[in-house]
Structure 1
């Protein structure tokens, strides 16, 4: 039974299909215009908690925003405590980008790496249009590049050019996502929004550093996937390659039992991954290679709006959510 990091091998394109400027112009017309109209200027919903510096900790009081509760301090002191922030008008966002070999997979023309690039282009341009800065940390066989946080369209083009011209990573063993997260903790010292863009096909050990990042920063896990990683169609006898190690084997997808076992293991991994992300205290945006980017971002934004309204309703009612009410 192959590991779920093993995927059907597809041919690689040797050069980018379009320049960074062409890519950005296309996305500005097809995606950004739609988001501008739908968000109606409320792009900060994507960046809840950004633009703030931690100033102090104090006990929870009536009307405090429950989103600012510091759970570690609350558990330690057995009394709800909230973080007090001072406003910082300039926001910074960092893209922590997993560019390991498994990101080059896609069951159609659209690969996970293409979705990653489009997502970075849209979010980076949306943020820089409003005077904010964006930076990136890149992981291939290891953490091998950092692009400092700057503003402006030219900086976005520089970031996209780096992604579009970067050679595909050679198979060099399993991805160690924890290295990317630990590097970000050292590099990004000021409170920022961090987008961890990965398929999370990686060695274990990434949960703790992700949780530590979420204690200091606003962290969003952008999880990329392909439909073929969840369920195999009946394609007969096909070669499967482990994108991380290059190991190959032949499997019979005509075998209904094999397809059921594959789907069962995939579903189990999905559940475990979502639970791990929830335990780390981060929001998750899932992007499939067959998904509509603008639609996925809007669904994610709507979810955060609903959560914000529910949190505000609890605070306005002068009571804590049930799970917090029992903390003391």
Structure 2
């Protein structure tokens, strides 16, 4: 995408979302996550293990002697806020795109499905030099402006194109600080989307509590878990994890020089079988800790990879969410 002019890039993104993704996710106001809403809809039979007992319709249940739940129609004119991780690690990629470009595609999927009915989308952009806030606006023009700003953002020295315009800024650096800023800055209930690779920085401070992993060892929970718990207690949270295949497994290429994009440190490493196996095990453990932490926070978790069809992955995720919510779905030819 970076090789294209921004306008062509964004138009292609919009076509992908509106033609492919929206065509697969038929519905009046259902997005990637069916919202709880406040407006009552029809009652239906309770599905054990899938429906929330808090939505039980006791009047219908008493009349029919069969447990029923009441569906809720999602509110209109909502605000969706996204936290975009634009730290240097997001400028890595060995698939069909780099991770930042895939993050832009994920934001476009959420944004275009949100603004189509007049809802507003805003964003917090987490960069090494601070936090940038893009105010919530409605319409395709505002969505184009936000996506173009993210595409052109400088993730290194902080001398990119985000210095002016409608942004406000204040110092921030870690994902935990970004989530805290989003939680404190936006109190109105709605959808909150965290788009990041969830890779911990080398100097990430470890919290006092710890959890036990599948390997039997005690692992410190990520620093962003506590603020994400607070965010998920009030809002509906979707965590989109951006992954590149080379972050999971390394090729057998012998001696290589590797650079940490966050710190700039360069190391010479011999990628023999033992090193590759240890790296793969550590990467799998890190992903499992991320998945477990997101589950403990009660947030929805979508994984997108730079070497996969992101449209199909988003559609499969949304279809699973609808099934879990007991909604009627249109198969549209996509197999979950």
TM-score interval, smaller chain: 0.7 to 0.9
Give the equivalent residue in structure 2 for 1:264.
281
Q: CA shift at 1:261, angstroms?
A: 0.8
**In 2 relative to 1, CA 67–244 (structure 1 residues): closer, same or farther, beyond 3 Å?**
farther
C-alpha distance in 2 between matches for 1:153 and 1:31: 13
Give the equivalent residue in structure 1 for 2:332.
none
Residue 201 of structure 1 is aligned with which of 181, 189, 199? 199
CA contact (8 A) 2:32 2:110 kept: no
C-alpha distance in 2 between matches for 1:127 and 1:66: 24
Aligned to 1:96, the other structure's residue is in SS state strand
1:183-198 alignment to 2 at 5 Å? 183-198=181-196
Give the equivalent residue in structure 2 for 1:75.
none
CA contact (8 A) 1:241 1:249 kept: yes
Structure 2 residue runs of 5 or longer lacking an equivalent are: 40-44, 56-71, 159-171, 205-221, 328-336
**In 2 relative to 1, CA 96–20 (structure 1 residues): closer, same or farther, beyond 3 Å?**
same
Give the equivalent residue in structure 1 for 2:251.
233
C-alpha distance in 2 between matches for 1:287 and 1:243: 20
Aligned to 2:325, the other structure's residue is in SS state helix
Give the equivalent residue in structure 2 for 1:284.
301
C-alpha distance in 2 between matches for 1:67 and 1:121: 33
**In 2 relative to 1, CA 90–52 (structure 1 residues): closer, same or farther, beyond 3 Å?**
farther
Q: TM-score, normalised by structure 1?
A: 0.76
Aligned to 1:268, the other structure's residue is in SS state helix
C-alpha distance in 2 between matches for 1:45 and 1:127: 7
- 2:175 is the counterpart of 1:177: yes
C-alpha distance in 1 between matches for 2:225 and 2:104: 24
Q: TM-score, normalised by structure 2?
A: 0.74
Aligned to 2:121, the other structure's residue is in SS state strand
**In 2 relative to 1, CA 63–122 (structure 1 residues): closer, same or farther, beyond 3 Å?**
closer
C-alpha distance in 2 between matches for 1:33 and 1:215: 34
C-alpha distance in 2 between matches for 1:32 and 1:217: 26
Give the equivalent residue in structure 2 for 1:304.
321
1:274-319 superposed Cα distances (whole Å, 9 cap, x missing partner): 1111001101000111111110111111221221129xxxxxxxxx
- 2:66 is the counterpart of 1:48: no
**In 2 relative to 1, CA 52–192 (structure 1 residues): closer, same or farther, beyond 3 Å?**
farther
C-alpha distance in 1 between matches for 2:95 and 2:21: 26
CA contact (8 A) 1:51 1:192 kept: no
Over 6 Å off, 4+ runs: none
CA contact (8 A) 2:130 2:173 kept: no
C-alpha distance in 1 between matches for 2:152 and 2:311: 25
1:22-171 alignment to 2 at 5 Å? 22-41=8-27, 44-49=30-35, 51-52=37-38, 66=52, 88-108=75-95, 110-141=97-128, 143-170=130-157
1:5-58 superposed Cα distances (whole Å, 9 cap, x missing partner): xxxxxxxx9xx43343312211233343011221112551423236559xxxxx
C-alpha distance in 2 between matches for 1:146 and 1:228: 31
Q: CA shift at 1:215, angstroms?
A: 0.7
Q: CA shift at 1:86, angstroms?
A: 10
Structure 1 residue runs of 5 or longer lacking an equivalent are: 1-12, 54-61, 70-84, 311-328
CA contact (8 A) 1:211 1:281 kept: yes
**In 2 relative to 1, CA 187–93 (structure 1 residues): closer, same or farther, beyond 3 Å?**
same
1:81-124 superposed Cα distances (whole Å, 9 cap, x missing partner): xxxx9974212111101100100011245110010111212321
**In 2 relative to 1, CA 231–175 (structure 1 residues): closer, same or farther, beyond 3 Å?**
farther
Give the equivalent residue in structure 1 for 2:58.
none
Alignment: residue pair count: 270
Give the equivalent residue in structure 2 for 1:218.
236
